[in-house]
Amino acid sequence: MQTGKDAAVAEYLKNRSKAEKLHEQAVRLFAAGGATHSARVMDPFRPYITHAKGSRKWDVDGNEYIDYVMGHGALILGHSHPAVVKALEEQVAKGLLYGDNHELVIEWATLIQKMMPVAERIEFCTCGQEANMMAIWLSRIFTGRKKVLRFAENFHGWGEELVRKDSPGVYADNVDVIPFNNVDAAATALATKKYAILMTEGGGAHMAGQVPISDELLYALPKLTKESGTVWLLDEVVTGFRDTQGGFQALKGVKPDLSSVGKCMGGGLPVGALLGRADIMESLSPKAPKEKRIGHSGTWNANAAVAAAGAAACRLYLDGAPQEAARARGNQLREKGNEALKARGISGRLYGRTIIHPYFGPLDFEPTDASMAPTRDVKKITDPTYGPIRDRLVLHMLNRGVSALTAIGSAYFVMSSAHSKEDVDKTVQAFAASLDAMLAEGSFPKALLGS
């Protein structure tokens, strides 16, 4: 029998023989270690899913999971919500892609505008990063400036002006990146008046705020961007329709010039949209002066299938009930999970609202605001030394029937309205048992014990 660290991997493999065979094929097909998304890369491999419903997912080997991947954050209603399935089934019979106008798009856009008043105008596209690319283009025309200002760690997609500047093969000379949560750095950069757009992730960097945005920065940005004539984009691809029906901006009472949305807006189908001020979006009008006019194509823009699913989901988002339910379950996981960490003297905390972030590292303070990390130091939150601990936690929890969203070194528990109190109770049990197993196998460095 294997002991220590190998035992958990051996157990994982023992219960996933069919998945292992599929993985062997996958590595010959998909360059990214057999995965189809950088957040699906895992050592040895992630499970192969056959079907999902509500809060659950099942894999080819017959394992059942309480799912916290939740469609990379898109499924605040859980898997296959009956209203979304019904709308989609009805639409499939009527046609998927008209390549023309249709009524559903009016209803969908009206619901979006009602929930997010930033949407004086709406431009549909197929995913979140396309909306961000459109935001850059429109801001450049509106301001007559070329440069893009972004915060470190903030994620906006993989396009050239969105991805990390130091990635190989990226030549984003017009992009400047400044330290996150540093108001002085933002004020100094913006005062140069050379930026067309400032991009900020809703909630903070990584999945609604693994590195939470400070109130100090958030509330400084409307004035700083206005004074410098820079368009302020709040990227609500993750937080839109999730944090509240009006997104993170409604939660915090701020109004950006533009907002990108996606994920939850499509009810589980691929989608993105740019929402924003009519004067900035005017360049999309055929009546705009020639030197300011742009055309936006996109075969799949607002196709009938996604509009049907999106409108069905947005009808449910309107009263805020799904968001409240997801937040309540998030509170439960965070509070009970933190009791488990404290009882074991582990220097780590869970924090977040409807996406719960596990942190392992030095505790600088005990946060009173549940969405805040126990440190303000960005480096501590993203310290790669502690990434393997999160990877290990994900593996142990998969062994215990809980599937967290992961990218190597990160883990996220994405809550939905489909998670029940009992689901979260079971998750907390799996979390506590995983911590015990990790303590026994020596996964925590001494510095993180006895706190």
The site for ligand PLP (CB under 6 A) is made up of 72, 127-129, 132, 155-157, 201, 235, 237-238, 262, 272
**How far is 356 from 265, CA to CA, in rounded Å?**
20
Write the burial class of residue 338 (CB in 10 Å: 0-12 exposed, 13-18 middle, 19+ buried). middle
Cβ 410 to ligand PLP, closest distance in Å? Answer: 12
CB of 40 to ligand PLP, least distance (A): 13
Q: Which strand (E) or helix (H) includes residue 449?
A: none
The least CB distance from residue 82 to ligand PLP, in Å, is 25
Q: Which is nearer to ligand PLP, 132 or 399 (CB)?
A: 132
**210/245 with CB nearer ligand PLP:** 210
Considering the complex, state which of residue 157 and residue 374 has its C-beta at the smaller distance from ligand PLP: 157
Nearer to ligand PLP, 274 or 448 (CB): 274
Chain residue at closest Cβ approach to ligand PLP: 128
How far apart CA 291 and CA 142 sit, in angstroms, is: 11
Beta bridge partners of 35: 32
Q: How far is the CB of 127 from ligand PLP (least distance, A)?
A: 3
Determine the Cα–Cα distance for residues 116 and 381; give it in Å rounded to an integer: 31
Interatomic CA distance for residues 53 and 82, integer angstroms: 10
Least distance in Å: CB of 128 to ligand PLP?
A: 2
In DSSP terms, 177 is beta-bridged to 150
Cα(85)–Cα(83) distance, rounded to whole angstroms? 6
Buried b or exposed e, range 390-405, using 16+ CB within 10 angstroms: bbbbbbbbbbbebbbb
| Distance in angstroms (rounded) separating the CA atoms of residues 431 and 400 | 9
Cβ-based nearer residue to ligand PLP, 247 or 272: 272
> Shortest Cβ distance from residue 37 to ligand PLP (Å)?
9
Is the CB of 272 or the CB of 374 nearer to ligand PLP? 272
